[in-house]
Structure 1
Amino acid sequence: MSEALLDHATHTMAVGSKSFAAAARLFDPDTRRSALMLYAWCRHCDDVIDGQALGFGTAPLDATPAEQRLAALKAQTERAYQGEPMASPAFAAFQEVALAHDIPPSQAFDHLEGFAMDVRDVRYERLDDTLRYCYHVAGVVGLMMARVMGVRDEKVLDRACDLGLAFQLTNIARDLVEDAQAGRCYLPAEWLREENVTAERAHSVLFDPSERERVARLAARLLATAEPYYASAREGFRALPLRSAWAIASALKVYRQIGVKVRAKGVHAWDGRQGTGKFEKMGLVASAGVSALASRHSRLAPARDPSLWQRPR
């Protein structure tokens, strides 16, 4: 059963996120197992809410209302923490990780709150509101992953959360058109109004090929917002074991490169899904190794920029 769970988690990441799969191979075996297990649960919850399979497809898996599917995820998460037998491979994997690494239940439920925000079709008025969503769907995943790597220092956990925020801001920029097609928009309404776009028209404007200049400006603004969070996250490398630092530095470089491509392609960024190729990943992973080694000899990390959004404690 244990190896079957690992096989399931490995397949889930290999199909669901090629960017993170490349980085995960760099962890030591125990950390890699736990990271894969945690990812499998996060991917499963996302798929259940979106009616997808490993991040693909839009047809609902069943006719159950999203609110009921969300309630079922919460109930299974609660049972996992209570040590009950888990029939679902994703929840069996999560149970193993959560109990072994003392992942606080509040963090798991904070992650589920991100899916709840999608179910409720929450609107985002200000950048802080968008960042709060980013925290729930990605920042708290950074916190849980950091615990898997042995991190307990709150200041280092802040850096892990910052990386999740940067990843999600990049994600939103890359997927602006795809999300609009699905009826979702995570951009601050303030930003939309500055582009003379009302919240009611956001989906149609973002999905309209003739509006790509506006979309490109909004994406560039998201990516600029992500940069100080990427910079903050880099300061956390020194607190991680070397192989973990290499893995996380690789994930940062590979994912940030997606944003670089979105920015560089401008209005053509949504002609196809942006990503990194095999040889490009290899170069970024090699560069990340240098960064991880350099972090062993760097001075004490500077204080975190107080202007950055602060996770809830």
Structure 2
Amino acid sequence: MQEESLEIKARSKSFFWALFFFSKNEKRDIETLYSFCRYVDDISDNQNLGTKKNAKKMHLNIIKDLEKKSSKNRIVENFINLSLKYKLNIEIPIQLVQGVLKDLKIVNIKNLEQLIFYSYQVAGTVGLMMCSIMKVTNLKLLKNAIELGVAMQITNILRDIKEDLMRNRIYIPENYRSFIFLNSKELLGNFEKKKILSKNILELIEYSDDLYNSALDGIQNLPFKYRLPVLIASNLYQNIGFKIKDDPLKIWTERIFVKKRQKIFITIQAIYKCIFLKLKKNKDNNNHAIHKIIEKNLSKNG
């Protein structure tokens, strides 16, 4: 597990920072969950696997292992044991794998609803599994967990636009682009279009902010020991969006991240808010698409 902990620290510094505030046992279980999610995601991104056909086969094997509750793969087996411990509905991690499977194809998201559903599959499901570890069962809080997961995934998408385009994936919905998209290679070589897309994504940042703010309602109703780390993680990710908004063109030249000094400041702010203030949330704006998807999938997953 120490090896997995080092892997998390190296690859997701914001996640690891918030993880510090969980108990030792919870931290171990969250690391097991994260290692599984990372493994599933890496299968789609790993160029050393040879072909997409091999990657698809690996994903389908994971689904089979989840269904039969047994695996020869250490990471998958550890996750299966975790799912049995917390009585996870196995359909939730299966939805995660099905979402990541989509990354093996050429991705060209058409509308906001498609983006939300994909984000639910690859990140909202993780929010639900985190709720199981935190023993959160309240339906309203589960909905807020999905909102937060989707918001974080949109932030990831906005930060990783260049990297995704290099893999023939564009997650910015077609109806959010004010230019004709021909293909990834053409866009990467066209400075004017990149400049336009950098402006187009500002609307998606606003949408993700709505979701972060809506999720605050759930965060403030968590037990304090969970409220603080979840709020820190939420604020750290949202801050990445703020940085992109300040200078959108930077997404093409560098990876946007929150520096250590800013993390400390955000953490202190979160501690203060958790102790002294009621967390504020803005009025829900135009979130009908996500509510529809949440209702459908929560009822399906029981």
Q: Which runs of 5+ in 2 are unaligned?
A: none
The equivalent residue for 1:182 is 167
The alignment yields a C-alpha RMSD, in angstroms, of: 2.3
Task: Report the 3-state secondary structure (helix = DSSP H, G, I; strand = E; otherwise coil) of the residue aligned with 1:60.
Answer: helix
Task: Report the 3-state secondary structure (helix = DSSP H, G, I; strand = E; otherwise coil) of the residue aligned with 2:110.
Answer: coil
Q: Which moved more, 1:174-183 or 1:67-76?
A: 67-76
Q: Structure 1 residue aligned with 2:60, among 51, 60, 71?
A: 71
Tell me whether 1:166 sits opposite 2:154 in the alignment: no
After the TM superposition, which residues 1-313 of structure 1 pair with which residues of structure 2 at under 5 Å, given as runs? 6-51=1-46, 59-63=47-51, 65-79=54-68, 82=69, 84=70, 86-192=71-177, 195-198=178-181, 200-201=182-183, 204-206=186-188, 208-294=190-276, 307=288, 309-310=290-291, 311=294, 312-313=297-298
The equivalent residue for 1:56 is none
Q: Distance in 2 between matches of 1:95 and 1:256?
A: 31
Preserved CA contact (<8 Å) 2:166 2:184: no
TM-score computed with the length of structure 2 as normaliser: 0.88
Offset of 1:177 from its aligned partner?
1.4
The equivalent residue for 1:3 is none
Offset of 1:176 from its aligned partner?
1.1
Q: Distance in 2 between matches of 1:302 and 1:228?
A: 7
Offset of 1:290 from its aligned partner?
2.0
TM-score computed with the length of structure 1 as normaliser: 0.86
Q: Distance in 1 between matches of 2:259 and 2:18?
A: 14
Q: Distance in 2 between matches of 1:125 and 1:110?
A: 20
Preserved CA contact (<8 Å) 2:112 2:173: yes
- CA deviations 1:125-161 (Å, max 9, x no partner) are 2111111111111111111111111111111000000
Task: Report the 3-state secondary structure (helix = DSSP H, G, I; strand = E; otherwise coil) of the residue aligned with 2:290.
Answer: coil
Preserved CA contact (<8 Å) 1:237 1:245: yes
Distance change >3 Å, CA 212–CA 243, structure 1 → 2: same
Preserved CA contact (<8 Å) 2:109 2:115: yes
How many aligned positions are there?
Answer: 292
Distance change >3 Å, CA 293–CA 103, structure 1 → 2: farther
Offset of 1:202 from its aligned partner?
5.2
Offset of 1:116 from its aligned partner?
1.7
Q: Distance in 2 between matches of 1:210 and 1:20?
A: 34
Distance change >3 Å, CA 90–CA 8, structure 1 → 2: farther
Q: Distance in 1 between matches of 2:49 and 2:32?
A: 22
Q: Distance in 2 between matches of 1:251 and 1:189?
A: 29
Preserved CA contact (<8 Å) 2:179 2:193: no
Offset of 1:298 from its aligned partner?
6.8
Question: Displaced runs of 4+ in structure 1, greater than 4 A?
Answer: 301-306
Q: Which runs of 5+ in 1 are unaligned?
A: 1-5, 52-58
